Amino acid sequence: MHLARVPVLILSLVSIGCAADAPYRIEVSTILTGRGKQFYTQSRAALIPGPAPRVIVTTQETDPTGAHGYKDMFMVETSDLGRTWSSPLRIESLRRTRMPEGHDFVIGDVCPQWHAATQRVLATGKTFGFRGGTTEDRGFERVSYAVFDPRAHAWSGLRLLELPAADHEGKAFLEPNAGCHQRVDLPNGEILLPIRYRKDPKVRYYTTMVARCRFDGETLTYIEHGSEFMIRRERGLYEPSVTAFGGRYFLTMRADHSAFVARGQDGINYDPFAEWRFDDGTVLGSYNTQQHWLVQGGTLYLLYTRRGANNDHVMRHRAPIFMAEVDAERLVVRRATERIIFAEENADLGAGFAVLDVGEREKWIVTSEIPTKGSRDTNRVLLARLTW
């Protein structure tokens, strides 16, 4: 597969003002624009290091007229660190496919990340199944992945992670998936992969765990997992993200009514979780939306959306996207450090976003707009470049 090297100029470049004491500068640009029934959502980036570093962004063609209208996967690329981008290229091996049984099957909520030990991009996520091509059936959800070989410039097809027959309680892993997460690659090449699944077929309480996996450049293999976290309300705990900081590991988890955090020593086993709060004791206000981590030097940051930002008109208050420092000892967000990374522009920004470590003093955050219905027939894939 060869990528057409058609330059796409950055459509907008906006410097967002920060307080005088903010240690970083934010610049927001547009990578890609979707129109009509071809929106681009669930967009995330991976850095391919080398003398001339490349960044690829995977994004999914989505019909915005219905929930989870996910179609084919696309990729765009930059070889000049975001000054220009290629035109979107459909990933043929990851097309939405009609199965012999009569349902559509496609990878989704994809999170690509460079795996240094194998010199591959490992993109993990979940599968979506649609009976008759139209009706989503969550029973088809599985932990899925695909592999990009930058030397051959080729993607594998959709692959599934095999899990054991039962978890620590002897319960089957029902509908497991690893979508919209953030993983950690260990120095020995092993992977800490956050996964959510159901234990009980009668209720949709998701359980969060982190699995230690092995990846040989082709196949992702489960080794073990640790803590199993769940709350018995709404949809439990899900869309987890993990990071390493200061010799420990930190796990953030989405719930329908709030957001939760835990800390551990080995990456798979964690102390009891707590509800996310500001350092003044008030609840953070992030709910029904993922959160992600950013580590810069000796500081741990959290990216999130929340209530209370003159954003009651935004679905699930999913804009603006904020970033703030985390007190890693108290496990609270330092309110005074909160900054807006992506401003609220009458669109959901929290349905799928991710952090990319570009260099010692530069981090990127990529997100996709889902405009409020009827507001406009275009959406943008946005890049926030943070420089210290």
What CATH number did the domain enclosing 321 receive? 2.120.10.10
Chain segment 296-343, per-residue pLDDT in tens = 999 999 999 999 999 999 999 999 999 999 999 999 999 999 999 999
Does the pLDDT at position 206 exceed 80?
A: yes
- 193 vs 215: CA distance, rounded Å: 11
Structural domain count of the chain: 1
pLDDT at 384 over 80: yes
Please give the residue that has the higher pLDDT: either 208 or 19: 208
Q: Is the pLDDT of residue 18 over 80?
A: no
pLDDT at 109: 97
The confidence band for 150, taking pLDDT boundaries of 50, 70 and 90, is: very high
Name the band, by pLDDT with cuts 50, 70 and 90, for residue 21.
confident
Does residue 2 form part of some domain? Answer: no
The residues that bridge with 26 in the sheet, in sequence order, are 16, 386
pTM for this predicted structure: 0.94
Q: Which pLDDT score is estimated for 4?
A: 42
The C-alpha torsion from 207 through 364 and 47 to 141, rounded to 10°, is 20
| Helix/strand/coil for 54 | strand
* Residue 89, pLDDT above cutoff 50: yes
Mean pLDDT of 241-259: 98
The count of other CB atoms within 10 Å of the CB of residue 344 is 19
Helix, strand, coil percentages (3-state) for the chain, rounded to 5, are 5, 50, 45
CA 116 to chain centroid: 19
Q: Is residue 10 over pLDDT 60? A: no
| Confidence band for 65, pLDDT divided at 50, 70 and 90 | confident
The H helix count followed by the E strand count for the chain is 0, 34
* DSSP labels, 299-362: EEEEEE--SSSS-TTSGGG--SEEEEEEETTTTEE-GGG-EEEE--SSEE--SSEEEEEEETTE
If you ran DSSP here, which 8-state letter would residue 203 be given?
Answer: S
Q: What is the largest CA-CA distance in the chain?
A: 60
The pLDDT value recorded for residue 2 is 41
- CA-based angle 255:231:190, to the nearest 5? 75
Joined together, the tokens standing for residue 277 give 């709060």
Q: Residue 350: which residues within 8 A CB-CB, separation 6 or more?
A: 289, 290, 304, 305, 316, 318, 319, 321, 367
Per cent of the chain over pLDDT 70 is 95
Answer for the pair 118, 215: CB distance below 8 angstroms, yes or no. Answer: yes
Kindly tell me if the per-residue pLDDT of 196 is higher than 80: yes
Supply the range of the domain harboring residue 375: 8-387
Q: Which residues, at least 6 apart from 374, have a Cβ–Cβ distance to it below 8 Å?
A: none
Report whether pLDDT(360) > 80. yes
Do residues 180 and 290 lie in contact, with contact meaning Cβ atoms separated by under 8 Å? yes
Q: Are 48 and 77 in contact (CB under 8 A)?
A: no
Residues 151-187 pLDDT 10s: 999 999 999 999 999 999 999 999 999 999 999 999 9
On whether residue 377 sits in a domain, the answer given is yes
**Is residue 1 domain-resident?**
no
Each residue of 106-140: pLDDT tens digit? 999 999 999 999 999 999 999 999 999 999 999 99
**What single DSSP character describes residue 43?**
E
Band of residue 5 on the pLDDT scale cut at 50, 70, 90: very low
β-sheet bridge partners, residue 175: none
Percentage of the chain beyond pLDDT 90 is 90
pLDDT band at 200 (very low <50, low <70, confident <90, very high): very high
Element housing 124 (H / E): strand 120-131
How far is the C-alpha of 292 from the C-alpha of 172, rounded, in Å? 28
Query: For residue 214, which amino acid is it?
Result: R
**Confidence class for position 20, pLDDT limits 50, 70, 90:** low
> Is pLDDT above 80 for 144?
yes
pLDDT at 234 over 90: yes
Asked if 358 and 49 touch (Cβ cutoff 8 Å), the reply is no
Of 359, 351, 363, 319, the C-alpha closest to 39 is 351
